[in-house]
Amino acid sequence: MSTVAVVDYGMGNLHSVAKALERVAPRGTSVRVTSSAHDIAAADRVVFPGVGAMRDCMGELQRRGLDEVVREQARRKPLLAVCVGMQILLDFSAENNGIACLGIFAGRVELFDSNMHDARSGERLKVPHMGWNQVHQHAPHPLWESIAQDTRFYFVHSYYAQPVDARVTAATTEYGANFTCAIARDNIFAVQFHPEKSAAAGLQLYSNFLRWNGTV
Amino acid sequence: MSLAKRIIPCLDVDNGRVVKGVKFVDIRDAGDPVEIAKRYDEQGADEITFLDITASAHNRDTMVHVVEAVAGQVFIPLTVGGGIRTVDDIRRMLNAGADKVSINTAAVTRPEFVKEAAERFGAQCIVVAIDAKRVSAPGETPRWEIFTHGGRKATGLDAVMWAQHMVEYGAGEILLTSMDRDGTKIGFDNELNRAVSDAIAVPVIASGGVGTLDDLVNGVKLGHADAVLAASIFHFSTYTVGQAKSYMAQHGIEMRL
């Protein structure tokens, strides 16, 4: 019996994340949406989602005492962070006039420039970055297994991560310029896009995560 | 490499059933929202929008169950519109598995609602639906006004200014329907689409009037739309979503294929 905890800190819709994980879970894997520090600590794997404004996400995480729990899990077991869950792993976000985050990865989260244009068409780019964009993998990783280079995933965000150490960038996406859309280090993998909304490719990534032992 | 334009099939749901003559040739139950959403997902739909046209509050609970059932099986973004009037309406839909809600009449009657919703749930899940009608005479500078109640009630609000106002209030996306074109199958009002899309920073979904695949191409190329919404051409299996996407790609539009 293996368990995956989906960290519930009151931010956004965890239904889709849990349903997508259940869809691809190997026999004997149980998916648990939970805000219990004990359950999260006891799980074999942790999924750390996040939707909404950074001030609310970070505030709720702290209010429920889950910030330390996430930090602790990030040191020891396979952890997959999604969207704002990824952004929270960095030091600092420029959202809501500046919010200190968990600092598991050195770097900042910045707002997309409001005056970006597509390099080829010259078309003005909208913010939020919303829709299906290509994910360019930087190196092989167990979570990219059976996912073709430059596959499209579903994005919806206005802020993006800028990790200090370029070696943690697992993939980039072009929107005005190339930005880091996935980071990876040891047992941690984090994505800006939403695998639970990215059809077959997203389900494949969740499937890969549920079979990953946390080593690269 | 760049962001793909989106195709969004729209389903009208009344008391838990898809209505407006859905005629898939080989589908078991043509009115079942789950079956139809799965079909569109398989065809490559980039998102799906449900419009709840149910009149009674009692039947609205049914919509929550529809969203739950679809979200358990279809892993692409889902938007729900129709009758969204309170923060609690939004919370219920998002908890059921919707990714975005679309606010229409309530945004006109109480614009602060959009602000409250965006602050509470994030702009990314707040779509403001705008129903616009051309009010300028031929030859004049084009001007469109917002109408509510299915296009019957004029508000005096200018469509472009209203869209800008809604974005300031936190709308993450605008669903723009031309009341002049809705149901006509003669194509989008692309002057309207372009005027709104060029005036705001957030994505615009063009809606109302699609009859051919060229209409979809023109919505992007002439209307500067970020996404195109259509109902009847897909419901009646005139075209599959896949055919529409290939056609748009052949015409130089970035698509997820």
Does A26 reside within a domain? yes
- Determine contact: A113 vs chain B, CB below 8 A: no
Q: Please indicate, yes or no, if residue A216 is contained in any of the structural domains.
A: no
Dihedral Cα A22, B47, A117, A87, nearest 10 deg:
-30
Confidence of residue B25 (pLDDT cuts 50, 70, 90): low
Do A14 and A8 contact (CB within 8 A), yes or no?
yes
- What is the average pLDDT across A49-53? 86
Nearest CA among B25, B7, B57 for reference residue B247: B7
Domain containing residue A18: CATH number:
3.40.50.880
Q: What is the pLDDT of residue A119?
A: 83
Q: Calculate mean pLDDT across residues B5-19.
A: 93
Q: What band does B21 get if pLDDT is binned at 50, 70 and 90? A: low
- Read off the pLDDT of each residue in A155-164 and give the average, rounded to a whole number: 96
Residue A78 lies in a domain: yes
Task: Tell me the pLDDT tens digit for each residue of A14-43.
Answer: 888 999 999 999 999 999 999 999 999 999
Average pLDDT over residues A197-205: 98
pLDDT band at residue B47 using 50, 70 and 90 as cut-offs = very high
Query: For chain B, where are the alpha helices, taking DSSP H only?
Result: 33-43, 57-71, 87-96, 105-109, 112-121, 159-168, 190-199, 213-221, 232-235, 241-250
- pLDDT of res. B22: 66
Is the pLDDT reported for residue B23 higher than 70? Answer: no
Catalytic center residues of B: 12, 131
Percent of chain B residues past pLDDT 90, beyond the cut: 79
User: How much is the pLDDT for A188?
Assistant: 98
CA distance A133 to chain B (A): 5
Contact of A154 with chain B, judged by CB distance below 8 Å, is answered with yes
Domain contains A215: no
Which chain A residue's Cα is nearest to B221?
A123
DSSP state of A113: P
Which residues, in sequence order, are CB contacts of B247 under 8 Å at separation 6+?
A: B213, B216, B217, B239
In this prediction, residue B37 carries a pLDDT of 96
Which range among A29-33, A166-170, B15-19 shows the weakest confidence by mean pLDDT? B15-19
DSSP secondary structure letter of residue B180: T
Residues in A closer than 8 angstroms to B173, CB to CB, are 128, 130
Amino acid A202: pLDDT: 98
Confidence of residue A52 (pLDDT cuts 50, 70, 90): confident
Of A23, A118, A130, the CB nearest to B203: A130
DSSP letters for A50-106: --S-HHHHHHHHHHTT-HHHHHHHTTTS-EEEETHHHHTTSSEE-GGG-EE---SSS
Alpha carbon of B1: minimum distance to chain A alpha carbons (Å): 7
Which residues of chain B lie closer than 8 angstroms to A158, CB-CB?
Answer: 123-124
Residue where the block lists tokens 């965006």: B118
Q: ipTM score here?
A: 0.94
Residue B85 has pLDDT above 80, yes or no: yes
Mean pLDDT of A5-11: 90
Task: Tell me if A70 is assigned to some domain.
Answer: yes
Distance (Å) from the alpha carbon of A126 to chain B's nearest alpha carbon: 5
Place of tokens 């039947």: B59
Q: Tell me, what's the pLDDT at B12?
A: 92
User: Tell me, what amino acid is at B128?
Assistant: V
Give the pLDDT band (50/70/90) at residue A216: confident
For A94-153, write each residue's pLDDT tens digit. 998 999 999 999 999 999 998 899 888 888 899 999 999 999 999 999 999 999 999 999
Q: Identify the pLDDT of residue A79.
A: 98
Domain membership of residue A80 (yes or no) is yes
In a domain, A161, yes or no: yes
Is residue A15, in this structure, part of any structural domain at all? yes
Q: What is residue B101's predicted lDDT score, i.e. its pLDDT?
A: 96
* Whole-prediction pTM: 0.95
Q: Is B123 or A144 the better-scoring residue by pLDDT?
A: A144
Q: How many domains does chain A have?
A: 1
| Rounded CA separation A56/A58 (Å) | 6
**According to the model, what pLDDT value does residue B221 have?**
97
* Range of the structural domain that residue A15 is part of: 2-210
Q: Indicate the pLDDT class of residue A86, thresholds 50, 70 and 90.
A: very high
* Interface contact A120-B94, CB threshold 8 A: no
Whether the CB of A132 is below 8 Å from some CB of chain B: the reply is yes
Give the range among A171-180, A181-190, B49-58, B185-194 with minimum mean pLDDT: B49-58
Taking each helix axis from N to C end, the angle separating B33-43 and B241-250, rounded to the nearest 10 degrees, works out to: 30
- B153 band by pLDDT with thresholds 50, 70 and 90: confident
Question: Which amino acid, residue A23?
Answer: R
Q: Which two tokens stand for residue A36?
A: 């219990």
Could you tell me the sign of the dihedral formed by the alpha carbons of B133, B136, B139, B140, in that order?
negative
Categorize the per-residue pLDDT at B151 as very low, low, confident or very high, splitting at 50, 70 and 90.
confident
What value does the mean pLDDT of chain B take? 92
Active-site residue, from A83, A95, A129, A181: A83
